Structure 1
Amino acid sequence: MSSRYAELSREQLAILVPELLLCGHLIDRSGMAHTISAFGRDGMAEVAIEEWQLASPIYTRRMRAALRIPGDDIVTIFKGLQLDIGAPPQFMDFRFRVDDDRHGEFWLDHCGALADVEPMGEPYVFAMCHTIEDPTFDATALATNPHAQVRPIHRPPRMPADRVPVCAWTVTIDEANEPPATPPNTPLIAASAAARLELAPVDPADTGQADYAGALLSDLRFADFSKSALVRMADEVCLQQHLLTLGFLIAVRERGGEETALDIGRKQFTGIAGLTSQRIRAALGLGDDFAALAQVLRLHPAWNPLPYTAAEITAFHDSVVLRLSRESPGVADGAWPALIDAEHTEALDAMVRGVNPHFYTRVHADGDELVAEIASAGEPFPEASEVAITRFSTGADFSFGERQSLPLTVV
């Protein structure tokens, strides 16, 4: 199966890839609100730590392999961060300094996550910037070098309240550093189809930058990459979202059981599904008719990469039909495609109403396929509460700007 993102132009892909990174970051704005309700602030922090520890080493290694990012040094760690849904460009405005191949610093001139959490009070800021970040930064660095450690120079709660940069961290690689313990549930996610999925390699002959093997850049200009590289990036970012969700479901299931995991997982999916549709539609300047809906669905991370979901989307003049194989790898993993059935259509309803609030779905089984028929009603439907919760994030209306891409050298 080919990638659906190959249907887009190079220019459209350069717009879409950072959008997918940002939407991946906002998954937690959807999921963690419901996790707090179920397990409290401390339980939410435990879930957040485990999901990122499980997912980020796997997807970081995948992206490194896809874009031929070599090495095990500081530069390699920083390149991985630039292509991680945990650090979408500009919204999480990471700046980097490289002292040598084993020492460096990064800081955030703007942190969208902090902007979302600061109004909730210092206990939530401490939970995010201390309790969660300490183990998860090390887990991300672990994907490149098990002896890398990320340690704070300063971090929130901010003193003074408008301190910029909002935080700063050192990264040190030292053989004396003891690698962090492997989370007990690592084998579960490492054995997933998402972790092992093979995708088409980047074509080195395509026009534009085919890899990220050269110098570390201050900011990635996605327009500089080839169409082939951008297609692979888009598919990998979608897999990051599926892997993070699998980690989230594992962590919630461990604390609340299967029924709780399905309930919170569906709420998480609903919130991010609707917001992602809205951002994709706006980013690509699409309309609100059935042709636009089909395009948004084809590009939505819930249904990509195509070899993972095997979702078929067909547009008609008065409807769109989505056919989902119940034997696809995504369903087998228990990822987002597995969370929709005839009795649970909330996420799909939110997704289609992100294009037009009049759209609704009718879902039924057809052999080993789930078929969703999307039509239009006379009156608009209200926005789902799960989408409204996710819209609390400043990322919901965030706009990307133009940046220069400057090589960073050893200071």
Structure 2
Amino acid sequence: MTERQREHDGTALPTSRYAALTRGQLAILVPELLLAGHLIDRSGMAWCISAFGRDEMLQIAIEEWAGASPIYTRRMQRALGFAPAVEGQGDVVTIFKGIQLEIGAPPQFLDFRYTVHDPHHGEFHLDHCGALMDVEPMGEEYVQGMCHDIEDPTFDATAVASNPKAQVRPIHRPPRVPAGRTPACAWTVIIDDSHPAAEPIPAVAVNSASRAAKVELAPIDQSDQGVGDYSGPLLSDLDFAAFSRSALIRIADEVCLQMALLDNSFVLALEARAATPEQALDIRRKQTTGSAAMSAYRIARALDVPKDEQGALQLLALHPMLNPSAYVTAELDDTLVVRPSPAHDDDAWISLCGPGWYEPLQAVVRVLDPHLDVEVEPLADDEWVLTVVRRDEPAPEAQELVIAKFSTGTDFAFEGRRAIPITPVQEF
């Protein structure tokens, strides 16, 4: 039996592509991946507004996040050892830890500050909200749409993952009165058995059957130097440098699966509204190209990836479109060879690419140098090979990236912070 057959047979797990990085590099990469996942919407939703209007865009966004977050939140709980002993009976600390490790709330860009009163009562506020900074210049109706229409049902979806009896309700939220009010918003989190149980939207059941939801990743090596889980107290800020290399690899792979699950939900919502399959495919391609380029832009800058052909292959190896290795089957050396995989079963990003269309792959390598390009050739059995080449003339920046760069997340800089345990206001 070949290694590839063993991997698909479930008797062996492939080595993560992130295992090529040092612990220090991984500590830099993980928050970048969390932010990259958040910025997927800055590409996709722009095209949805154009195709369907603002109201339908809001509904797509609601279904997109609500159809994915319960699944990936539970995955991260299990991976880092803070899942409740009984599924669905998590406390406010469980909920807050999940928020800290999901693409819906990348650290510092959405600067959550937490208060824990007791296991069933807590609060949070945002000292900075990059998402608000993105929509506030667009006008009050867009602020209302994000901070009210989208937040209410998606916070309930977040509760489904930890405790369906949890309610997240606003103390205050934008539109900001007076203008520039800080904190941007504040919320209570209350778990009460008298609350009606939050119900998952239908997309959760569909997405739960995906390969992304079920893919198995290597467990964290608890003997590795550094913190191997998040079973301890809630921290004000996660110090990713404190995690072990093994834990960081697992977190990075899980974050890439969060993106895949989010895209699955996006496709379900999109296809329910598209007039034709061709319209849905066109929007998917634009979203894929824009988000692929944005992720590459931030990863390349954060890790100082060399701006040559070998650096381009390194960037592709680290890119969410090609991770985790247990989900996307690919071989990287002097070329990139992509083979059928669980990601193709899900119709994930990489399944859109190949000899007939490879604009996201071009966009990735061109963030390093506009002279770089790719040549993609078919191999046997739906496999293909990519070679990075250098052109004499520079290519223009992809229109999809130009649109995605609207976000303040494009050049957002993370800062070093101390991880301080959060002490409950009253004893448990």
Which of 342, 348, 351 is the equivalent residue of 1:329?
342
Is 2:120–2:190's contact at 8 Å kept on the other side of the alignment?
Answer: yes
Please state how far the C-alpha of 1:402 moved relative to its aligned partner: 0.7
Q: Which secondary structure state, in structure 1, belongs to the residue aligned with residue 373 of structure 2?
A: strand
CA RMSD for the aligned pairs? 1.0
User: Counterpart in 1 of 2:353?
Assistant: 340
- Alignment of 1:264 onto 2:277: no
Separation of aligned partners in 1, 2:332 and 2:370: 19
Separation of aligned partners in 1, 2:123 and 2:372: 48
Q: Which secondary structure state, in structure 1, belongs to the residue aligned with residue 327 of structure 2?
A: helix
Which of 11, 15, 32 is the equivalent residue of 1:2?
15
Separation of aligned partners in 1, 2:118 and 2:158: 20
- Alignment of 1:382 onto 2:400: no
Please state how far the C-alpha of 1:85 moved relative to its aligned partner: 0.3
Q: Which secondary structure state, in structure 1, belongs to the residue aligned with residue 270 of structure 2?
A: helix
Q: Which secondary structure state, in structure 2, belongs to the residue aligned with residue 273 of structure 1?
A: helix
User: Counterpart in 2 of 1:318?
Assistant: none
Is 1:252–1:260's contact at 8 Å kept on the other side of the alignment?
Answer: no
User: Counterpart in 1 of 2:268?
Assistant: 250
Is 1:29–1:393's contact at 8 Å kept on the other side of the alignment?
Answer: yes
Is 2:289–2:400's contact at 8 Å kept on the other side of the alignment?
Answer: yes
Separation of aligned partners in 2, 1:46 and 1:145: 24
Please state how far the C-alpha of 1:70 moved relative to its aligned partner: 3.5
Mapping 1:342-381, distance limit 5 Å:
342-368=355-381, 369-381=383-395
Mapping 1:102-141, distance limit 5 Å:
102-141=120-159
User: Counterpart in 1 of 2:76?
Assistant: 63
Which of 310, 313, 321 is the equivalent residue of 2:329?
310
Separation of aligned partners in 2, 1:258 and 1:246: 16
Please state how far the C-alpha of 1:299 moved relative to its aligned partner: 0.6
- Alignment of 1:404 onto 2:418: yes
Please state how far the C-alpha of 1:144 moved relative to its aligned partner: 0.5
Mapping 1:134-173, distance limit 5 Å:
134-173=152-191
Is 1:103–1:171's contact at 8 Å kept on the other side of the alignment?
Answer: yes
Is 2:65–2:262's contact at 8 Å kept on the other side of the alignment?
Answer: yes
Is 2:173–2:185's contact at 8 Å kept on the other side of the alignment?
Answer: yes
User: Counterpart in 2 of 1:35?
Assistant: 48
- Alignment of 1:73 onto 2:91: yes
- Alignment of 1:12 onto 2:25: yes
Is 1:105–1:170's contact at 8 Å kept on the other side of the alignment?
Answer: yes
Separation of aligned partners in 1, 2:32 and 2:164: 30
Is 1:217–1:406's contact at 8 Å kept on the other side of the alignment?
Answer: yes
- Evaluate the alpha carbon distance shift between residue 365 and residue 220 of structure 1 in structure 2; reply closer, same or farther with a 3 A threshold: same
Task: In structure 2, give the amino acid aligned to 1:141.
Answer: A
Per the normalisation by structure 2, the TM-score is 0.93
Task: In structure 2, give the amino acid aligned to 1:4.
Answer: R
Please state how far the C-alpha of 1:284 moved relative to its aligned partner: 0.9
More displaced stretch, 358-367 vs 225-234: 358-367
Task: In structure 2, give the amino acid aligned to 1:277.
Answer: A
Separation of aligned partners in 2, 1:226 and 1:250: 36
Mapping 1:188-267, distance limit 5 Å:
188-256=206-274, 257-267=276-286
Q: Which secondary structure state, in structure 2, belongs to the residue aligned with residue 308 of structure 1?
A: coil
Please state how far the C-alpha of 1:37 moved relative to its aligned partner: 0.6
Q: Unpaired runs of 5+ in structure 1?
A: 316-320
Task: State how many pairs are aligned.
Answer: 405
Task: In structure 1, give the amino acid aligned to 2:407.
Answer: S
Which of 315, 325, 331 is the equivalent residue of 1:296?
315
Q: Which secondary structure state, in structure 1, belongs to the residue aligned with residue 326 of structure 2?
A: helix
1:77-99 CA-partner distances (Å, limit 9, x unpaired): 00000001000001100000001
Is 1:215–1:408's contact at 8 Å kept on the other side of the alignment?
Answer: yes
Task: In structure 2, give the amino acid aligned to 1:336.
Answer: W
Separation of aligned partners in 2, 1:201 and 1:399: 31
Please state how far the C-alpha of 1:3 moved relative to its aligned partner: 0.3
Q: Which secondary structure state, in structure 2, belongs to the residue aligned with residue 96 of structure 1?
A: strand
Per the normalisation by structure 1, the TM-score is 0.97
Separation of aligned partners in 2, 1:329 and 1:261: 22
Q: Which secondary structure state, in structure 2, belongs to the residue aligned with residue 275 of structure 1?
A: helix
Separation of aligned partners in 2, 1:15 and 1:185: 33
Task: In structure 2, give the amino acid aligned to 1:39.
Answer: F
Please state how far the C-alpha of 1:258 moved relative to its aligned partner: 2.8
More displaced stretch, 258-267 vs 65-74: 258-267
Q: Unpaired runs of 5+ in structure 2?
A: 1-13, 85-89
Separation of aligned partners in 2, 1:251 and 1:184: 11
Q: Which secondary structure state, in structure 1, belongs to the residue aligned with residue 413 of structure 2?
A: coil
